[in-house]
Amino acid sequence: MIETRYTSLLSPHRPTARCLGVVLLLSACASANAKEPARADFSKAPGVVIDHVPASAGVYIGSPSLVVLPSGEYIASHDEFGPKSSEHSRAVTRIFRSTDRGETWAPIGKVDGQFWSTLFYNQKALYLGGAWKHHGNLIIRRSDDGGVTWTEPTDAATGLLAEGQYHCAPQPVVVHEGRIWRGMEDAGGSNTWGERYRPFMMSAPIDADLLSRQSWTFSNYLPIDKGWIDGKMRGWLEGNAVVAPNGQIVNILRVAATGVGGVGALMRVSDDGKTISFDPQEGFIEFPGGAKKFTIRHDPVSGRYWSLVNWVAPEDEGKREPGGIRNTLALTSSVDLLDWKIERVVVRDPDLEHGYQYPDWQFDGDDLIAVVRTATDDGLGGAHNYHDANFLTFHRLEGFRDPPVDNRPQGQPPQEQGADARLRPRTGGATPRNVLFIIADDLSCELGCYGAAGVLTPNLDRLAARGRTFLNAYCQSALCNPSRASLMTGLRPHELGVWTNSPHFRETSPGVVTLPQCFQSHGRHAVGIGKVYHNYGQRLHGDAASWSEPQVNHWGAHFHDWFVPGRGSVLHGDWAKAEAVQRADVPDDAYIDGRSASLATQKLRELKQVGQPFFMAVGFWKPHLPFNAPKKYWDLYDQNNLPPPPSDGPPSAAPAIALHNSQEARSYTDVPDRGPIPAGKQRELRHAYLAAISYVDAQVGRVLDELDRLGIAEDTVVAFCSDHGYHAGDMGLYGKLTNFESGTRTPLIIAAPGMAAPASKTSAICELLDLYPTLVEVCGLPVPAGLSGRSLCPVLDDPEATVKPYALSQITRPVYVEKAVDAIGSSLRTTRYRYTRWSQGADGSARVPGPVIDEELYDVRRDPGFAQNVAGQAAYAEMLGEARSRLAGCFAGGAAPRAPAVNGAGVSN
């Protein structure tokens, strides 16, 4: 920890800057010698003192605001309130400037008739908007000289926007869709604090005359209902205009409710800014410090929303009303505005009569800078309570996004980063700037490059010829949602609490940082095209926080991807599930994967033109059911002479719970819902599946061809995988949903520029969640702590290297349920055996399986086809005991099953 330094200041405006990157524990001790004459002592004030007024003056510092000018100068402001101020007649706001990034400050102006105001910059001018006085007219001023002089709002053409009683604070101004948006409150609802405030939204075109009343649009006013929050509701105020992940403007407000401190209110704003609405059933959100004023801003670098809040520390809970506890200032963030995480405590003082409140802040490169209304000791008796601030202070939170966000579930110790987590230069080449990540859906290892004779995949074969083919790569779940959530977060399904196709991982583990988010935080432009996350049946559609721009072709049911003559090449949302196969003579773009390939090639051209490093994820929907590739891909195969599946029946002695009845295929109209599937239909299904594989392969080829044509392949690492395997007739099954080899084994090919021994295959055991640390490291970026995967870079350097002794896959029974499950199957795959334990299920959020129901053990060396379960054979008692112990170790104490390093470095849609 950095040592905290308190420096005596020569004057209020010549202090020493201090970073708030550590927790500041401020002493509440008074002077040891009370008889000495009082002298100003600002050493207890954190940060840089911009202004100070002793409490004896009867004037207090309020409403701090901060803006960074294009010149790099900082402008700050505060108003004055208190019994000897003019807040109720003609309020005063003071303006300050720093030309050295906040190290020192100087006063540059005084504005008479300005209160509760926000500084913002627009169209080469500085603005100050707020009220004329305490509950006064709504006004705005402009400065064309950096805050020294200001216009006077005398009428509707010069900044007098509305007459009446208005309330606000330094609330953020946001620009969206060519308009400026700002939250405000009418104060005429009653004479009682809190309930008198009726929020509304005001907006204007960015190029309009902002001093003209005619330029502004005002929404309706929204009063409170005192019956909300079990009758504890007192008021809402000081709202934040924010652009939500769906692109809609929302207003997030401070909530005053008796005895309630961690709640905010989210109001929705119509696109034209004329209507604001609130649903009490869903509009109250958990927000730390929600009883006090806060500022929310969106960070395009991390893709997160950030705020500084007066969080109530556990040791302070219940000591007074939450709105009066302002002795702790904390940094918090969210990916979706709904779930907020405390990242760190910035300032804390055990004395509740000290306050660090009303922070206004801005991004400044890698730092966050803030001005704070501070009430603390000053050697002159100090502030006489937390509310009546005697300081305006400036703070710089250096590298506020660092250290890398830890993905560990709460309470889990940090993962030690071993040799495989160090950054090492890539052999023989420069570190790539870009990532092209391609993922298919339900694709087994029946590919030419994996030795599947007769399966035509020339484009994946040529990718393998320039990369590393992982022969023993395994998913964490043979089901779309948990597998993709695990891969993209670097955490296992049981760590995320995601077992089936719902819920979304953001609902169970909202604070995790996804793979593309990690790249965004290091300056990459993150693009998502197609099915990267799960695509149907969830409250959240995809993950907007993962991308620098809206994702496309990512949402809808698979059976909506159907060629319907005369209806165009689109997803047909009104289309009912029909046949499992379609053999239409249509171009590739008739189906969504062809259109995604076209979008991907177009986006590559755009990214090449602007020269911005990128992380591009392209998710192909095939070969998932329905199997409806264009006819030309069917014509590649002879239905009467197809490559056979790996096996035609289940393993001997396999428990029934390990199998399924091909329910996914049976949900289509041309497959019987019970009984044997006719041999002819099975041949047709397999034919259609292989055609879909070749169709996906062709789309992969289109994207790779464009990457090569543009000349950026040598600066791009390419990774290809599926979300899991698939039984296309193997073991007599159609579908995934098993812990067998065909269900869990997935293709994985990584091609990095300059890698050692390209075209080599490796037998190293690995998992899909290893992709996260691998892609981060291969691009020369720091690997976040807390990931459950291990970097595969040692294997990219040497195909004989290994990084882990086993892979773990999990699946539930039944599969398509969100909460209670009957059983959880956890399967370990080593180079020696596959061991699967079926355990009693629990609530879907459970992290640890229950008592054992059944077991499977397969001897990989003697039975490479996994034809016989030997768990019940005495000759395998020792191997079974070892496997049991190893799997039990994965869940000891509920901890995540992180494989240690080894020597050598309903119905699916």
Task: Provide the pLDDT confidence category of residue 289 given band limits of 50, 70 and 90.
Answer: very high
Mean pLDDT of 140-166: 97
Is 252 in contact with 242 (CB distance < 8 Å)? yes
Q: Which helix (H) or strand (E) holds 298?
A: strand 295-299
> What is the pLDDT averaged over residues 353-374?
96
pLDDT at residue 889, as a whole number: 76
820 versus 294: the higher-pLDDT residue is: 294
**CATH 3.30.1120 in the chain, residue ranges:** 819-892
Where is pLDDT greater, at 48 or 843? Answer: 48
Would you state the structure tokens that stand for residue 93, as one six-digit string?
């706001």
Residue 282 has pLDDT above 50, yes or no: yes
Judged against a pLDDT cut of 70, whether residue 427 lies above it is answered with no
Active site residues: 480, 534
- pLDDT at position 301: 80
pTM reported for the whole predicted model? 0.57
Fold held by 819-892? Arylsulfatase, C-terminal domain (3.30.1120)
Q: Is the pLDDT score of 727 beyond 90? A: yes
Predicted local distance difference test score (pLDDT) of residue 789: 94
**pLDDT, average across residues 218-232:** 95
Check pLDDT > 60 for residue 409. Answer: no
Residues 6+ apart with CB under 8 A from 432: 426, 715, 716, 717, 752, 753, 778, 779
Gap between the terminal Cα atoms of the chain: 51
Yes or no: say if 615 and 524 are a contact pair by the CB < 8 Å rule: yes
Handedness of CA 6, 8, 10, 11 (dihedral sign): positive
Q: 3-class SS at 770?
A: helix
219 contacts 179 by C-beta, under 8 angstroms = no
Identify the pLDDT of residue 758: 94
Lowest mean pLDDT among 23-27, 199-203, 611-615, 807-811: 23-27
CATH topology of domain 434-564+579-790+804-818: Alkaline Phosphatase, subunit A (3.40.720)
Mean pLDDT to the nearest integer, 760-785: 95
Query: Measured in whole angstroms, how far is the alpha carbon of residue 755 from the centre of its chain?
Result: 31
pLDDT bucket at 348, cuts 50 / 70 / 90: very high
Question: Which pLDDT score is estimated for 909?
Answer: 37
Q: Does the pLDDT value for residue 335 go beyond 90?
A: no
Greater pLDDT, 155 or 823: 155
Instruction: Find the mean pLDDT for residues 205-210.
Output: 94
**Least reliable range by pLDDT among 319-333, 595-609, 611-625, 812-826:** 812-826
Mean residue pLDDT across the chain: 88
Note the pLDDT of residue 485.
95
Considering only residues 227 and 431, tell me which one the structure prediction assigns the higher pLDDT: 227
Token pair 């494989």 is found at 899
Greater confidence, 39 or 868?
868
Say if residue 623 is preceded by a cis peptide, omega within 30 of 0.
yes
**pLDDT, greater one: 412 or 308:** 308
Provide the percentage of residues in the chain whose pLDDT is more than 90: 76
Distances in Å between the Cα of 811 and the Cα atoms of 483, 763, 846, 868 are 10, 24, 13, 20
With 80 as the cut, is the pLDDT of residue 247 above it? yes
User: Which residue type sits at 378?
Assistant: D
Question: Averaged over 337-341, what is the pLDDT?
Answer: 91
The kind and range of the H/E element at 346 are: strand 340-348
96-100, 839-843, 866-870: range with lowest mean pLDDT = 839-843
Segment 494-511 shows an average pLDDT of 88
Percent of the chain with pLDDT over 70: 89
Give me the mean pLDDT over the 295-301 stretch: 90
Once rounded to an integer, what is the mean pLDDT over residues 80-86?
A: 97
CA–CA gap between residue 321 and residue 314 (Å, rounded): 14
Phi first, then psi, for residue 295 (nearest 5°) are: -120, 130
| Tens-place pLDDT, residues 584-630 | 999 999 999 999 999 999 999 999 998 889 999 999 999 999 999 99
Q: Are 419 and 901 in contact (CB under 8 A)?
A: yes
CB 388 within 8 A of CB 359: no
Tell me what pLDDT residue 37 has. 59
**Mean pLDDT confidence for 70-94:** 96
Contacts of 429 (CB under 8 A, 6+ apart): 714, 752, 753, 754, 755
Top pLDDT among 906 and 789 is at 789
* Residue 704 scores a pLDDT above 80: yes
Residue that wins the pLDDT comparison between 486 and 575: 486
SS3 assignment, position 716:
strand
Lowest mean pLDDT among 75-84, 112-121, 850-859: 850-859
Q: Give the per-residue pLDDT at 177.
A: 86
The answer to whether residue 18 scores a pLDDT higher than 80 is no
pLDDT at 848: 56
36 band by pLDDT with thresholds 50, 70 and 90 = low
The confidence score (pLDDT) of residue 413 equals: 32
Domain with CATH 3.40.720.10 in the chain: 434-564+579-790+804-818
Burial of 286 (C-beta count, 10 Å sphere; 0-12/13-18/19+): exposed
Give pLDDT, residue 842: 54
Which pLDDT value is given to residue 430?
A: 57
Residue 181 reports pLDDT greater than 60 = yes
User: Confidence band (pLDDT; 50, 70, 90) for 102?
Assistant: very high
Q: What is the pLDDT of residue 818?
A: 62
d(CA 482, CA 514): 14
More confident residue, 171 or 407: 171
Mean pLDDT of 401-411: 47
pLDDT digits (tens, 9 = 90+) for 537-591: 888 899 999 999 999 999 899 999 999 998 888 888 888 899 999 999 999 999 9
Query: What 3-state class would DSSP assign to 485?
Result: helix
Residue 426's pLDDT is 36
